[in-house]
Amino acid sequence: MNRAAFFRNRLNYKDSEWLGGTYRTQGGSNIEMRYDANWTGTSDPDASTWANEPTRKARMRANGLDATAYFDITPYLTQYTSVYYDELPRSGGRFDIQNPPPAGYVRVTPIESIQQTIDNGLPLSQQLVYIYGPAYLRDIGDLSTKYLDRLTLAAAIRLNRLVLGNDDADYRNDGATSESIKIESPYKDASGVLNPNAKSLLEYLDLSNLANMRGSLDMTGCLKLKTVRALGSSLTAISLPEGNVVSTLHLPETNEDFVLIQGQKLNKVIRDYSNCITATAPDNIPAEGLYM
């Protein structure tokens, strides 16, 4: 490790402990999200619905679709973990990369009033959450049961996994739209300049059953992307990185076009996809190479 990297990592460690320095830099460089619980337009009904559809609520709970407000955070380096609920910080403690906890992550729990609201089945809408120090986070846990209606990943360049959807047939989150969920990760911007915030280490992306995720999605900057799950979304086009290692693609019925260059690693397939492919190197796509 060179001198500059040593000091950068050391400063990140102390800033994460004290929540100081550039660790809480404002202006869009942090992970920002807004989530709902016990809310209409989701598969997590509120208390008034429980009385009318008790079996549905029981099924949602059994399938793990109840809203959650905790965050399971896995840093990229040894550091302290914290989540801000509005302006109220909650600490998950220290994560040691050399001696990680048995679960592999640190769980940061919400403030008591938020948890009580969720537990009592009362509506909770547009709860703001900020996760600072995004550049050194590997995973922020399953976000599908946060029922996000806004997400900005910004400088979370070392994320390895991003789970926003759920392939359970009952899952629903109408608030997650292409305008409110900012996850695109192009390799270059429109002027041809390399994207400094590309999620080049991302391997797993789940957008399943996010019906209001529409239009095109550029993930060409995710050079290590292996799995894309988007069944039940309304995406019409997906661009994948050149020379990629993608092995599993779950594409929605709405998909009209996706760009895949040298996709020799694909090894899963369901349903006919003859009307949905435009590939730069079709000869490199094995017959069993695509989920749809």
Q: How far is C-alpha 225 from the chain's CA centre?
A: 13
Single out the residue in 155, 171, 199 at which a domain terminates.
155
Whether residues 121 and 259 share a domain: the answer is no
Whether residues 6 and 147 share a domain: the answer is yes
Residues 15-67 have pLDDT tens digits of 888 877 666 654 457 899 999 988 888 988 765 665 666 666 676 777 788 89
In a domain, 165, yes or no: no
In a domain, 238, yes or no: yes
Cα distance between residue 109 and residue 117, in whole Å = 14
Percent of the chain topping pLDDT 90: 48
**Burial 73-90, CB ≥16 within 10 A → b, else e:** bbbbbbbbbbbbbeeeeb
Residue 159 — pLDDT band, cuts 50, 70, 90?
very high
Residues 105-143 have pLDDT tens digits of 999 999 999 999 988 888 888 999 999 888 899 999 999
Whether residues 84 and 194 share a domain: the answer is no
In a domain, 67, yes or no: yes
For residue 36, what are the CA distances in angstroms to 21, 57, 149, 152, 280?
31, 17, 7, 16, 41
pTM of the model: 0.86
In a domain, 174, yes or no: no
- Residue 283: give the domain boundaries: 184-292
3-class DSSP assignment, residue 195: coil
Whether residues 63 and 134 share a domain: the answer is yes
Whether residues 146 and 35 share a domain: the answer is yes
Contact 260, 279 (CB under 8 A): yes
